[in-house]
Amino acid sequence: MNENERFIHDRLPEDFYRRIETGNFIRQPYPVFADRDAWEKVRSVSKYAPLIIAEADAIEENSVPQLLFSNYSQFRINGNRSEYEKPYFDRRKNLAFLALAMCLTGDKEKYMSRLLDHVIAILEEWNWCLPAHIIWGENGPDEWRICDLFCAETGAVMAQFHAILGDEIDKEFPGLSEIIREKTLDRTVYNVLLKGITHWWHETTYPANWTVWCSYNNLATAFCLEKDNRKLAYFVKRYLEPTSRFIHYYPEDGYCAEGPSYYNKANLMVFRTLFWLHKSIPGSMDKLFAEPKIKNMVEFIANVRIGGKYQVSFGDAQPILRPDFSSAVPAGVLLNSPEMQALGLLNNAVLGACGDFLKEALALLFDQPETLPEQLSPGAPVTLFENRLAILRSEGFSASLKTGNNEEPHNHNDLGHFSLFNGSEPVIVDAGTGRYAKINFSPLRYTLWNTRGNGHNAPVFGEYEQLSGREYTAGFSLKDGHIVCSDLSKAYPAAAGVKRFERKLDFSKDQVIVEDTFELEKSAPAVITLLCAQTPVQKDAHTIQLGDVTLKLEGIAFDSAEIMPDLIFSRSGKDINIWGYTLTALRLRSENNSYKLIFQK
């Protein structure tokens, strides 16, 4: 085993795999349908139980969302993902709510028929891999047998369903549970390890979220469905190897370069993996839970919280902080992190996302602590991720400044971008990202207004904005505990002629000053685009009102304002504007080599 695969294995008990091989473990962590006491108890105490039952009751009889190959092909034809993904995810969501409602109520007559309609429909799907993730040829799919993110996720959903309801569905359809077991293992666990099909996410040296996301789901599937315990021990080891690589290469401070909205499928997937093993073999994860690096990775989402319910948005992220509370809050308990436990007070937990409703809702029902901290803390006064992100907080203003490089995973060209909050209200923001289409991962990615340099608030010099590429970098330093200084001289293409560029953010609870000082080889105007959460109102030549915040300009002046397109995302099957309101782009222009933006309460 390579050094980069040993992080987890070096911290496992000596008898870990022997216990799996001999069957001395808990195969799956939740009660089966027949354990009526457990289900009736959780129904009586969980605030999520009535929500789940209501969702199930709204699902129509004799109606399963239709999946058409013509919709599958839309991705190849015009880049559309939602035409196929929405009904695909709705099938899995419906299965979850029907299964859980039947367990919570014990009412098989009411739910079984609709439940079996969805189970059999998912089994009949020719492919569990999404169209955006297969290899397309000129005339159709060339390679479609791979286990992608959502094939693996579907596998874990079917495996968990099998674990809690397999005996009951065999009473209605004898042998169906074995069909589920065989098909699910074949498409997921066996597909990756036993069929000679290469899966980059399992083999890659430097893993991304795909690696831990798929590995966790396939590991859970193996635990629930693999009858041969010697094989199971082998599968567990093989799926922990890439997870160990993921941890090995991760920054010690837990920084999620993929952006905070990918935290659930990156950092938190590491905890989910360890949590599953902790429940399967109690005490086996004690050394791992004590590792500072694991705690830093898990606490990342609490550390980027800003303005109460928001997160510092960068990359392909969204503004509202939405960790998977099902795992984030228990993580706070096991890792002794009050900040993570307190996230449960935000009370914006969802019952699942994409197709992952069954596992999410089970964890919300059974894994949550009985008590939470009394209040949510305002957060640390200063949070620093080395040369990546600085966050400063107070009961008045809070601010962030982003650095790093312009080829991070899910990158936006955002070096030097700052955000500003007034208490719990956003003032200057990063737009974030909406629903994916093919263009998001194509050569045209940086034609999108929200990903490119001029969609962020580092200046455009003449015609030159920041471009994508690892060679475009920036770092920062903190001075006197409240001044963030960033060197942006390497953030622009050579043609921009930037010889020197420093952005300084001087922070206090009642005033934030952003000062840019630069030297260009050839004089050019600097244009800054501030994305404003409140409609800008120009008071005079040097003053702009942004809600309760006054922006005073020195050396720079108002140029124009533009209402920006809404960014739409699907959550729990519904389309929403990710901000809940429309952003305004405020453009400021300067002919000087230095200027200040002074934000005051």
- Kindly report the backbone phi and psi dihedral angles of residue 469, in degrees, each rounded to the nearest multiple of 5, phi listed first: 150, 145
The total of other beta-carbon atoms located within 10 Å of residue 563's CB is: 10
| pLDDT confidence of residue 572 | 63
d(CA 151, CA 187): 8
pLDDT in tens, 411-467: 999 999 999 999 999 999 999 999 998 899 999 999 999 999 999 999 999 999 999
Q: Give CB contacts under 8 A, 24+ apart, made by 441-448.
A: 441/132, 442/79, 446/413
Letter for the amino acid at 442? S
Q: Are 224 and 162 in contact (CB under 8 A)?
A: yes
Select from 515, 483, 482 the least CA-distant residue to 501. 515
* Dihedral, CA of residue 15, residue 21, residue 25 and residue 29, to nearest 10: 130
Residues forming beta bridges with residue 389, ordered by sequence position: 385, 402
581 DSSP 8-state letter: S
Give this prediction's pTM: 0.94
| pLDDT confidence of residue 130 | 95
Residues with Cβ < 8 Å from 206, sequence gap 6 or more? 245, 249
Residues with Cβ < 8 Å from 553, sequence gap 6 or more? 542, 543, 544, 588, 595, 596, 597, 598
Q: How far is the CA of 275 from the CAs of 140, 220, 271, 286, 326, in angstroms? A: 40, 11, 6, 10, 11
All domains in the chain, ordered by first residue: 250-379 (no CATH), 382-600 (2.70.98.70)
Select from 517, 256, 513 the least CA-distant residue to 388. 256
The total of other beta-carbon atoms located within 10 Å of residue 402's CB is: 26
Radius of gyration of the chain (CA): 25
d(CA 159, CA 277): 16
Residues with Cβ < 8 Å from 235, sequence gap 6 or more? 189, 193, 218, 219, 222, 226
Select from 30, 19, 22 the least CA-distant residue to 281. 19
Residues with Cβ < 8 Å from 274, sequence gap 6 or more? 8, 285, 288, 289, 294
Select from 517, 522, 491, 335 the least CA-distant residue to 413. 491
Residues with Cβ < 8 Å from 289, sequence gap 6 or more? 274, 278, 334, 335
Q: Are 363 and 326 in contact (CB under 8 A)?
A: yes
State the number of CA atoms in the 13 A half-sphere of 93 facing the CB: 21
Token code pair at residue 245: 């690589």
**Helix H or strand E segment including 142:** strand 141-143
Q: Are 302 and 329 in contact (CB under 8 A)?
A: no
pLDDT in tens, 24-55: 999 999 999 999 999 999 999 999 999 999 99
Q: Are 360 and 24 in contact (CB under 8 A)?
A: no
| pLDDT confidence of residue 48 | 94
Residues of the chain with pLDDT under 70: 347-349, 571-573
E strands, 204-304, where? none
Q: Which residues of 588-600 are buried (b: 16+ CB within 10 A; e: fewer)?
A: bbbeeeebbbbbe
Q: Are 217 and 155 in contact (CB under 8 A)?
A: yes
